[in-house]
Amino acid sequence: MLKRAPADAPFVARRVEMVIGASPFGASPGAAEEAARLLADLGMEGRVHAPEPAEIANSLRRAAEAGPDVLAVLGGDADVRAAVQLCGADGPAVAPLPGGPSNVLARALYGSCDWPDALRLALGRGRARLVDGGEIDGRVFLAAAVLGAPALGPAASRPRRPRSAHWRAVRRALTGRLRFCLDSCERGKAEALALVGPLVSQGRGDGADGFEAVSLNAAGAARAFDLGLPAALEAVRSNAAERFDRPRGVKVWAAGHIPALLDGEPVRLEHVAHACIRRQAARLLMPPGRGDGERATARGEPPPFSNQAGTAAG
């Protein structure tokens, strides 16, 4: 049973569970020992877990069920998403640590600092805050959801869990385009549709709280998803067929099952799917002075995935 905690109060962490993902997400061979020393130096009661890739989900579950004040995750966005779904809004605060180029959410929160500095900052001066995210057919995501055939391309060929044979069969069988309806009025069709969550989306400071929604044609989709999720988001913005004005509700349908990436994790949706903004989707340990949705960046550094050349401008 996960213990309940105040939603957004002055935060004091005493017990910490930390789960470290595989090396592609920035965890060096000595990361577990370094993390244990850091927690001891901070006077924290904590345990550090460095499971094999196939055991990450079980390790996250055990860590959450231990009832710590903080569940720190040094891994990919899919690992953070798994932790958030386990902890919810009432369980341990989740601290996504920026361990490498595959960390969209952690980079949006902590900028370019490395994970030991981010962990010190979070545990020493951070605040636990409820943040909004996205939800599609009961599945929560915080960084981005990508729907359509490109979700089965190279970006999805390197998940933290091996792809099953049905994904290959789905890709071979998939034909046609996505149809979509935004906020029950605007309709369209595209090869792929990307929904970027409020914490990561561009223009978050303008008070808008819907998705950053971008449709892609076949050529743009092929270019966008040759790379991992962070580079894919930048490519999405550069190769957009059309951008839409902050929808909060999205209906998507296709002739068959819809392949998707939720925070980099491949999933298979039914032929009709509904996405919406999920209020208080997660309780995150945020950098000091950062409110719901604000991003931490180094002085003079552009926000994550900004396009300084202006190609992302609508």
In a domain, 232, yes or no: yes
Do residues 22 and 86 both lie within one domain?
A: yes
CATH code, 193:
2.60.200
Q: Which residues pair with 212 in a beta bridge?
A: 196
Do residues 49 and 184 both lie within one domain?
A: no
In a domain, 116, yes or no: yes
Domain boundary among 97, 125, 153: 125
In a domain, 294, yes or no: no
Do residues 99 and 176 both lie within one domain?
A: no
Domain boundary among 74, 94, 125: 125
275-302 per-position pLDDT tens digit: 999 999 999 998 876 654 443 333 333 3
Do residues 146 and 263 both lie within one domain?
A: yes
In a domain, 130, yes or no: no
Do residues 108 and 194 both lie within one domain?
A: no
Give the number of domains in the chain.
Answer: 2
SS3 115: helix
Distance in angstroms (rounded) separating the CA atoms of residues 199 and 221: 23
Weakest-pLDDT range from 98-112, 159-173, 197-211, 232-246: 159-173
**Domain residues for 27?**
15-125
The b-or-e profile of 123-138 (16+ CB within 10 A means b, else e) is beebbbbbbbbbbbee
Do residues 120 and 140 both lie within one domain?
A: no
pLDDT at 170: 44
Average pLDDT on 192-202 reads 85
Q: Is 184 exposed, middle or buried (0-12, 13-18, 19+ CB in 10 A)?
A: exposed
In a domain, 108, yes or no: yes
CA distances (Å), 20 to each of 59, 145, 255, in order?
9, 24, 39
Residue 123, C-beta contacts closer than 8 angstroms, at least 6 positions apart? 13, 16, 42, 44, 70, 95, 285
Give kind and range of the element (H or E) at residue 65: helix 56-65
Do residues 83 and 145 both lie within one domain?
A: no
In a domain, 103, yes or no: yes
In a domain, 20, yes or no: yes
Q: Does residue 295 come out as left (phi exceeding 0), alpha (psi in the -120 to 50 range) or beta? A: beta
221-246 per-position pLDDT tens digit: 555 554 455 555 665 566 555 777 78
CATH code, 71:
3.40.50.10330
Do residues 165 and 108 both lie within one domain?
A: no
* Side chain identity at residue 38, one-letter code: L
Domain boundary among 75, 96, 125: 125
Do residues 153 and 242 both lie within one domain?
A: yes
Do residues 73 and 209 both lie within one domain?
A: no
Sign of CA dihedral 102, 87, 249, 208: negative
Most confident of 29-43, 59-73, 118-132, 230-244: 59-73
Do residues 188 and 104 both lie within one domain?
A: no
Average pLDDT on 19-35 reads 75
In a domain, 268, yes or no: yes
**pTM (two decimals):** 0.77
Do residues 159 and 244 both lie within one domain?
A: yes
Assign 22 a pLDDT band (cuts: 50, 70, 90). low
